[in-house]
Chains A and B, each alone.
Chain A
Amino acid sequence: MLKKLRIMLTFILAASYAPMNYLIYCNLTCLSCPLGGFCPYPIIIFLVMIIKFGRKIRSIISKILWKKDIFI
């Protein structure tokens, strides 16, 4: 049940990406950006990625910091 819910949620999230992409896209080049290139769009995507892969990213950083044997 929980798994089905997760699958459905993922489906809905993924389905909302194309409309979001279409609506947020500003039609400007970065050189003519009124925000001086501080584009919120990639930042949103970065945040989503960090939320999704936060644990993995943390473990990667800890591996780098503690120099564990990274090659398998």
Chain B
Amino acid sequence: MRLINAFKKLSINKWRYIFWIIGLIMFVAPFALLTRLIYFTIGNIYPPDLHGICFRMPFEWIFSGRIFYLFQYPIMFGTVILALIIAFVLGPIFCGWLCPVGAVSEALSRIIPFPYRLRIKDTSITRSLRYGFLAGWIVISLLIGLGYIGISSICCRYCASSVLQSLVDAISSSTVLYWHSGSIIVLIFWLIIGGVFTVGGRAWCIMFCPLGAMSGLFHSLGAKLGFYRTIRRNNVKCNNCDICMKVCPMWAIDSNKSIDRTLCINCKECVKRCPNNAFTMVWREIN
């Protein structure tokens, strides 16, 4: 019975979950179809995997002043820019609908019953965690660029993509995982504490992903300029049942039911799961 109920719940927002699978097939080896196609087109001989298109390194290159890397890896740069433009106009739908790292942890979080999962209720605290981390991350990138603290990358020290790819490799090709303190901490925080044991399973995306944080900024900038696709809540229909707060994977809805644009990823979970249809996805009118 619980299985049938779980399946019914999944079918409510089925297109999103279908896109999760498409994202996994597009980016994660052994498939990595998008990366494979790009490599084939440009004649790259490296085996395609989730590292082929890193969603974070281009930001580090920009902030550390190593712009020449952007020309060396134009596909990575192009993908990130495209994700930001989409975030500006349509909201960060790459994060909510395609990113395999967020999809896996969010999917796993559904295993544990709701009361066992953690969540920060105050969106301003969540926001300051997200942008506080980004600020520290930018400072480190600047220091790397200036040569004060060595030249190795900050992104590679806590890479959830590499842990995901290693786990898939271990399952699909019995490759032994390459563990180091960074991957242990990622595994604990991305998949266990921040994944399985949090509401929505996206604590990693909320706090540690520079692409996610930048997309949030572009989303709220788009909101200020007034042309973007967004979620709107109808106060009259809302009966304060709090279901939206429980289903929002980004902890973007606070107890007043206002939506924090820097956190929202336009995943439509609130739209689909609200019993009173109080949430709708609309094109925001220009004020």
Contacts and interface: CB of A to CB of B under 8 A. Distances in A.
A60 B193 CA distance: 14
Interface stretch (B35-43, B101-109, B163-171, B180-188): B180-188
B179 interface: yes
Contacts, number: 101
A63 B180 contact: no
B154 A18 contact: yes
A44 to B, nearest CB: 9
A34 B28 CA distance: 33
Interface stretch (B132-140, B219-227, B259-267): B132-140
Interface in B17-58: none
Given A17-B136, A49-B193, A63-B115, A42 B185 contact: yes
Nearest to B158: A21
Q: Which residue of A13, A21, A46 has the most chain B CB atoms within 10 A of its CB atom?
A: A21
Given A39-B181, A42-B188, A70-B113, A19 B136 contact: yes
Nearest to B124: A7
Interface residues of A, number: 38
Nearest to B180: A29
Interface residues of B, number: 34
Interface of B: 113-116, 118, 124-125, 128-133, 135-137, 139-140, 149, 152, 154, 157-158, 178-182, 184-185, 188-189, 193, 207
Interface of A: 3, 6-8, 10-19, 21-31, 39, 41-42, 45-46, 49, 53, 56, 60, 63, 70-72
Given A22-B157, A49-B193, 18 more contacts: A3-B124, A7-B124, A8-B128, A10-B125, A11-B129, A14-B129, A15-B132, A15-B133, A15-B136, A17-B133, A19-B136, A21-B154, A22-B149, A25-B180, A30-B179, A30-B181, A53-B118, A71-B113
26 contacts: A6-B125, A10-B129, A11-B135, A12-B132, A14-B128, A14-B130, A14-B136, A15-B132, A15-B135, A15-B136, A16-B136, A17-B136, A18-B136, A18-B137, A21-B185, A25-B181, A29-B178, A30-B180, A39-B181, A41-B181, A41-B185, A42-B185, A53-B118, A56-B118, A63-B116, A70-B116
